[in-house]
Amino acid sequence: MRKYIISHREGIDGLVLQDDAAIPELRGPTDIKIRIKYLSLNARDLQIVSNDYPAPHDVPQDCVPVSDGCGIVEAVGEEVTLFKVGDKVAPVFPQGHHYEEDLALRTLKRGLGGAIDGVAADYFVCDQEDAVHIPSNFDCLQGSTLPVGFTTAWSSLFSHHPRLQAGQTVLCLGTGGVSLCAAQIALSAGARVILTSSSQTKLDKVSKLLKEQLPPRAPQNAIQTIDYSKIDDWDVEARKLNGGKGVDIVIEIAGRATLARSIRSTKQGGLVAISGYMSDYKPIPDHLIQEDLAKVILYSAANVRGVFVCNREDFKTAVSALEMGGVKPIIDKVFKFEDLKEAYRYMEAGRHIGKVCIEL
């Protein structure tokens, strides 16, 4: 079978395609063998190949890259009860993360495509407890966007307290994978969203795509946008767009350059759900680095919480909610498997909105 390996971690050229790898066999009676059909990329995949991933574990030599994939069950062990041959499934990114509220180190050490082999291969074998059915109205391309982007978005909105309620407002930073997944979940749950981006073109495109999925009688202001390349005080603008009040939840993926403003955008008792730190890749002005976050948090009285994907039970609930809400993932571009490096480069350039996928 074909598979990629990470031969070195000095950049995207470390990805090497092999076409004579052995097809993995079931290792035990509860294993399933998945014929992988599509992959999707996350910022983590780039961080791993460029040695920028601050994981508390080693990345094994020749690890198979990419955490997110979807495919069709091709074989099942004799004790498998959850899946049958032909089912469309996605492996869970942190294998073994089934019920606990937060990710434990032992399951982080079983993260696909970084701690253990990922899914950039024709076949993937895992225990039945380490995969989920995708929504029945998703194809495998759409299913490939689930394991990290949608689970992190779900977790930010629903896995911890305070949780999103209908009628509330969610501020989503940027137009990448996690933020757009969160915007889609929030809208389908009856919330309003405010999206920020460095590009008005991206905002126009995203607004149009999101509006197509809105219920027919949704209000005009269900989707609002801020171009943060033009509006420096986007926290003030976010409050203005939210009727002068702080928002209920912020999907905080940018880190040091944005955190203080994210907190100031939030109402007292609201939630700033931090899952990423994209601003680390560009120079950050000194005044932002020097800001006293303790005081910002104290005077805002917001909850500031780290979020790491979600467990398998929550993943299944998210799948059900996406199915019921008729949510369709926003997919920017689909590359061929042999062009995986190009897909990484496209993502690195930051030109995408939503998800970048690969067809096997």
Ligand X SMILES: NC(=O)c1ccc[n+]([C@@H]2O[C@H](COP(=O)([O-])OP(=O)(O)OC[C@H]3O[C@@H](n4cnc5c(N)ncnc54)[C@H](OP(=O)(O)O)[C@@H]3O)[C@@H](O)[C@H]2O)c1
Nearer to ligand X, 188 or 198 (CB): 198
Nearer to ligand X, 164 or 178 (CB): 178
CA distance 272 to 114: 27
Residues at the contact surface with ligand X, assessed by CB under 6 A: 42-44, 148, 152, 173-178, 196-199, 202, 228, 253-254, 257-258, 275-279, 307-309, 347, 350
How many angstroms from the chain centroid is the CA of residue 310? 10
What is the widest separation between alpha-carbon atoms in the chain? 61
Shortest CB 258 distance to ligand X, Å: 5
Shortest CB 6 distance to ligand X, Å: 17
Nearer to ligand X, 32 or 112 (CB): 112
Nearer to ligand X, 192 or 352 (CB): 352
Q: Fill in the DSSP letter of residue 121.
A: B
CA distances to 21, 138, 237 from 285, in Å? 48, 43, 20
Nearer to ligand X, 216 or 283 (CB): 283
Residue 280 buriedness (CB in 10 A; 0-12 / 13-18 / 19+) = middle
- What is the number of other CB atoms lying within 10 angstroms of the CB of residue 247? 27
CB 156 within 8 A of CB 170: no
CB 201 within 8 A of CB 213: no
Nearer to ligand X, 91 or 276 (CB): 276
Shortest CB 246 distance to ligand X, Å: 18
Nearer to ligand X, 161 or 217 (CB): 161
Shortest CB 165 distance to ligand X, Å: 23
Shortest CB 310 distance to ligand X, Å: 8
Shortest CB 219 distance to ligand X, Å: 24
Q: Which residue has the tokens 């931090």?
A: 274
CA neighbours closer than 13 Å in the CB half-sphere of residue 13: 1
Shortest CB 54 distance to ligand X, Å: 10
CA distance 340 to 98: 30
CB 119 within 8 A of CB 64: yes
Cα radius of gyration rounded to whole Å, the chain? 20
Nearer to ligand X, 87 or 348 (CB): 348
Shortest CB 139 distance to ligand X, Å: 21
Contacts of 113 (CB under 8 A, 6+ apart): 44, 45, 48, 63, 64, 65, 66, 67, 119, 120
**Nearest residue to ligand X, using CB?**
176
